[in-house]
Amino acid sequence: MLESTVTKNVEAHLEARGCLVRKTHGGTYGKSGFPDVEVWSSLWTGVIEVKVSDNTCSAQQKRWIRALRAHGANAYVLRAGFCQPEGRGKNTIVRLEDENGSHSQPFPLHELYSHLCDPKRGGIIIT
C-alpha cells in the first residue's frame, strides 16, 4: 500500500463530502514536515498527515503537529496498512493518531469524515 494512494483516497473521500481539500508540498515549495492534507468544511477544519504501515513521523512532522494542536488546530496522523486484511480504496482500514502514537479505534476510510466531525462516534481518544 502506497502513502500517495491513501492520500488520494483521503482527498477524494473528503471532497465527495463537500470539503475543500488541499494537498500540501514540502521541500522547496512548502514547509518541510507540514502535514500532507489541509481540510476545510463547515463541520471540521484541520490537517492530516498520512502514514502507511509502520512508517513514523519525522521530528519535523511531530513538531508541526504539536505546534498546530497547541494553537487550537485539529491535527492528526491518519495511518493505514497496520492490520490484515487492510482493505482497499474506500474500505481501507485506517485509524487517527496524535504525534505520539495514541490512536482511535480502527475504521474504514469511507467513515473518515464522520469520525472527524463526531469524535464520540469514532471513539477518538486523542485530546
Read off the pLDDT of residues 72-123 as tens digits, 9 standing for 90 and up: 999 999 998 877 666 677 778 898 887 777 888 888 898 899 888 875 654 4
**CA separation for the pair 23, 35 (Å, rounded):** 9
Q: pLDDT tens digit string along 15-24? A: 999 999 999 8
Q: Grid coordinates in use for 91?
A: 474500505
The answer, yes or no, to whether residue 127 has pLDDT greater than 60, is no
Helix, strand, or coil here: 99? coil
**CA separation for the pair 92, 86 (Å, rounded):** 6
70-to-63, 75, 85, 115 alpha-carbon distances in Å? 10, 10, 35, 21
- Class for the domain spanning 3-122: alpha beta
Q: Which pLDDT score is estimated for 71?
A: 95
- Please report, as a single letter, which amino acid is at residue 125: I
Task: Give me the residue label for grid cell 469524535.
Answer: 119
